[in-house]
């Protein structure tokens, strides 16, 4: 399935861009509610699957004009997703990473709205991703504040 390949391709590129993510994250001042480093891998593994499956469900819809628009939003949120990891971990630009993740959150919200018009299931599959990104936005903001 091409959409799963694209989703996991973004994951692989992000992992490549953040080879020392565990060390960087471990060295940061973090809020008490920050999750442990080992949690991110399993969470993202599941989320990237739901991201790919949701796009596939939308792609199958008959109204190709609406599908194109919805998948453009899906692509945009993946670009923001991909940009966040090197900004945060490699460049250690926590403020720029925060801006990026806010844009990701907005693009993901627009994606869910567009997907819902075509497939409720596809939209629902993205809700846990939206929750995780919202949590990550708060975490990014807190880390930026604590490490500035």
Q: Is residue 100 part of a domain?
A: yes
Model confidence at 106, pLDDT cuts 50, 70, 90, reads very high
Domain span at residue 72 reads 2-25+37-146
pLDDT higher than 80, residue 75: yes
Instruction: Classify residue 135: in a domain, yes or no.
Output: yes
Query: Is 107 part of any domain?
Result: yes
**What number is the average pLDDT over the span 36-53?**
94
pTM of the model: 0.94
pLDDT of 50 reads: 98
- pLDDT at residue 42 is higher than 90: yes
pLDDT computed for residue 74 by the predictor: 98
Q: Which of 133, 109, 112, 136 is nearest to 124 (CA)?
A: 112
**32 in a domain, yes or no?**
no
74 or 148, which is more confident? 74
- Condensed to tens digits (0 to 9), the pLDDT of residues 82-92 reads 999 999 998 99
| 31 assigned to some structural domain | no
Cβ atoms within 10 Å of 9's Cβ, excluding its own: 15
Residue 103: CATH number of its domain? 1.20.1260.100
The percentage of residues in the chain with a pLDDT greater than 70, rounded to a whole number, is 99
Residue 126 included in any domain: yes
**Is the pLDDT confidence value at 16 over 90?**
no
- Domain membership of residue 30 (yes or no) is no
Q: How many domains does the chain have?
A: 1
Mean pLDDT for the stretch of residues 4-8: 95
Indicate whether 102 pLDDT > 80.
yes
Structure tokens at 64: 């190709």
Q: Where do we find the tokens 């993901």?
A: 108
What is the arithmetic mean of pLDDT over 3-23?
86
User: What pLDDT was estimated at residue 131?
Assistant: 98
Residues with Cβ within 8 Å of 136's Cβ and at least 6 positions away in sequence, in order, are 101
């Amino acid at each position: 399935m091409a959409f799963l390949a694209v989703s996991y391709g973004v994951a692989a590129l992000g992992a490549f861009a953040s080879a020392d993510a565990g060390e960087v994250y471990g060295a940061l001042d973090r809020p008490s509610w920050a999750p442990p480093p080992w949690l991110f891998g399993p969470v993202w593994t599941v989320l990237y699957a739901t991201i790919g499956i949701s796009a596939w469900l939308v792609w199958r819809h008959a109204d190709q004009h609406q599908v194109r628009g919805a998948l453009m939003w899906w692509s945009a949120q993946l670009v923001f997703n991909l940009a966040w990891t090197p900004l945060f971990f490699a460049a250690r630009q926590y403020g720029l990473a925060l801006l990026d993740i806010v844009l990701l959150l907005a693009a993901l919200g627009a994606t869910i709205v567009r997907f819902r018009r075509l497939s409720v299931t596809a939209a629902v599959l993205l809700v846990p991703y939206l929750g995780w990104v919202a949590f990550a936005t708060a975490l990014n903001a807190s880390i930026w504040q604590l490490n500035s």
